[in-house]
Amino acid sequence: MTQTVELPLWLFVLIVVFAMVTFASHFLFPSVRWFFRRRLERAVARLNQRLQRPIQPFKLARRHDMIQRLIYDPQVGKAVQHHALEAGIPEAVASEQARRYAREIVPSFSAFAYFSFAIRLARLLSNTFYEVRLSYEDEDAVRTIDPDATVVFVMNHRSNMDYVLVTYLAAPHSALSYAVGEWARVWPLSRLIRAMGAYFIRRKSGSELYRQVLSTYVRHATEAGVTQAMFPEGGLSLTGALARPKLGLLKYIMDGTTSQGRDVVFVPVALNYDRVLEDTILTRAALGKERRFRARIGVIARWIFKQFWRRVIGRYKRFGLASVRYGMPISLKEFRAEGSDDMMTDLARTLMQRIQYAIPLVPAPAACLLIRDNGQMAEQDLRSCIQTMMERDGRQSQDNAPDISSALDQLIERRILKRQGDILSASGQRGDLLEYYAASVPVSARPSNSAPAK
């Protein structure tokens, strides 16, 4: 036992390395994790004092624990058994498939990434690209929502900037949990989106097992009071007008609540833009061509560098107004108390009607609508009509002359409109974009002789 043993130097170094790794994994790493976990908990506690709706413990749980909780839920267990029987596979194989679905869906929320990085980035991008305006139909109705209720922001989907814009504007209220589609599953974007608390969904999954895992996650989040955001249209509007709602997520939320449990309050959120960044892609898709959003890092980096260079040389212009308005909230308990033969369909219809009514008017779509309906107009008359429409919108009575001038210049620069002396008319080159923006004008702000586009 006391004899000297000779070892090669490489073997001695290897033994020391393994000993250090073992010591660190058993003693050092747990202590370090505990230290940072305690600091994070104190930071979140201070943050919750500033937020109108504090971050729920469910959102802060470790991703591994959330996946385990999902897998061992009785609803998922029954779905695993049914899937194994139906597909003729061992139950262990079906269970592993459910685990893969859970890993795909469950986010890994980081309060530090959300409030220290994502919010700052969202604010920078929003104010760099647009002149941002926020308004309410009834601010008191939104601010006095039951603090114990689960709040779900229900939004029309105009652009991928919707995520950025609403995240920035909702920052004083709470951290939002979005449902995002397959477009966001691109590295490294996917890691950032997971860290922001978003969960991935497959828009067209034919697997009943997948749907059960997803519905169970949504039920857990709803029961825990997690503030959520959803786009009932399911995708970006191809025509500029509101699309028919898809009922999947709404059904999962309603199925996960009871009359005795926590209330769910739906807050309609309406968005409109002078310029939608993806408008050319969307109008091409509306003609039946391929609908693709190329999220390659190189393409995005070149576009950002181009905008940065324009700013350096003094040629950068923002894309006009981005306007957001909160509509009148709907309490699920109160809606259920009213009674309905088809509760889910009626709720979806009511939400879409409130979003439609709340859509704010911005100058570029108003100009497109007036030129489409009148053929051509004197520029001064067009400006006057747009100002009148914005005043008819009910919540924008200030002088909008600078915004109107910027919108008209942008439409002419993009060859949607053309100017001949004092007359403005359609250029004839971008009729698809003219129709697209005209369709986004809210019905309440339209002139009496103007009808919505078919």
> Is residue 441 within 8 Å of 242, Cβ to Cβ?
no
Residue 271 lies in a domain: yes
User: Hey, what's the torsion of the CAs at 352, 250, 182, 216, to 10 degrees?
Assistant: 170
Write down the pLDDT at residue 39: 59
Write down the pLDDT at residue 25: 60
* Same domain, residue pair 285 and 412: no
> Is residue 222 within 8 Å of 228, Cβ to Cβ?
yes
* Same domain, residue pair 257 and 386: no
Kindly report the CATH number assigned to the domain that includes residue 382: 1.10.3380.30
Distances in Å between the Cα of 196 and the Cα atoms of 112, 214, 224, 315 are: 9, 18, 18, 33
Tokens of 56: 């729920």
> Is residue 286 within 8 Å of 239, Cβ to Cβ?
yes
- Domain around 380: 363-445
Residue 1 lies in a domain: no
* Same domain, residue pair 369 and 342: no
> Is residue 271 within 8 Å of 135, Cβ to Cβ?
no
Write down the pLDDT at residue 361: 92
The CA distance from 362 to 440, in Å, is 9
Looking at residue 57, its amino acid is P
Ranges of beta strands (E only) in 165-304 are 177-180, 199-200, 228-230, 264-273
- CB burial of 58-78 (b: ≥16 within 10 Å; e: otherwise) equals bbbeeeeebbebbbebeebee
Residue 452 lies in a domain: no
Write down the pLDDT at residue 172: 80
* Same domain, residue pair 221 and 132: yes
* Same domain, residue pair 201 and 157: yes
* Same domain, residue pair 247 and 385: no
DSSP string, 358-412: HPPP-HHHHHHHHHHHHSEEEHHHHHHHHHHHHHHTSS--S--HHHHHHHHHHHH
Write down the pLDDT at residue 385: 92
The CA distance from 179 to 100, in Å, is 18
The CA distance from 275 to 287, in Å, is 20
**Distance of alpha carbon 142 from its chain centroid, rounded?**
19
How confident is the prediction along the chain (454 residues), in pLDDT tens digits per residue? 567 767 677 777 777 777 776 766 655 555 555 555 565 556 556 666 667 777 777 777 888 888 999 999 999 999 999 999 998 999 999 999 999 999 988 888 887 778 878 888 888 889 989 999 998 888 899 888 988 899 999 999 999 889 889 888 888 878 888 888 766 666 656 677 777 788 888 877 778 899 999 999 999 999 888 899 999 988 888 899 998 898 888 988 988 787 788 899 999 999 999 999 888 888 888 877 555 554 455 666 676 777 777 777 777 788 999 999 999 999 999 998 887 778 888 999 999 999 999 999 999 999 999 999 998 999 999 999 998 888 877 654 566 888 999 999 999 999 999 999 899 999 988 999 999 999 999 887 777 665 554 4
Residue 167 lies in a domain: yes
* Same domain, residue pair 259 and 407: no
Write down the pLDDT at residue 380: 93
Domain count for the chain, please give it: 2
Kindly report the CATH number assigned to the domain that includes residue 264: 3.40.1130
* Same domain, residue pair 261 and 380: no
* Same domain, residue pair 275 and 415: no
- Give the other-Cβ count within 10 Å of 280's Cβ: 14
Q: Fill in the DSSP letter of residue 442.
A: -
Tokens of 69: 């909780």
Residue 59 lies in a domain: no
Among the candidates 339, 358, 377, a domain finishes at 358
> Is residue 156 within 8 Å of 271, Cβ to Cβ?
yes
Residue 292 lies in a domain: yes
* Same domain, residue pair 167 and 304: yes
Beta bridge partners of 342: none
> Is residue 396 within 8 Å of 377, Cβ to Cβ?
no
The edge-to-edge listing of strands for the beta sheet with 376-378 is: 376-378, 423-426, 417-420
> Is residue 133 within 8 Å of 324, Cβ to Cβ?
yes
Residue 199 lies in a domain: yes
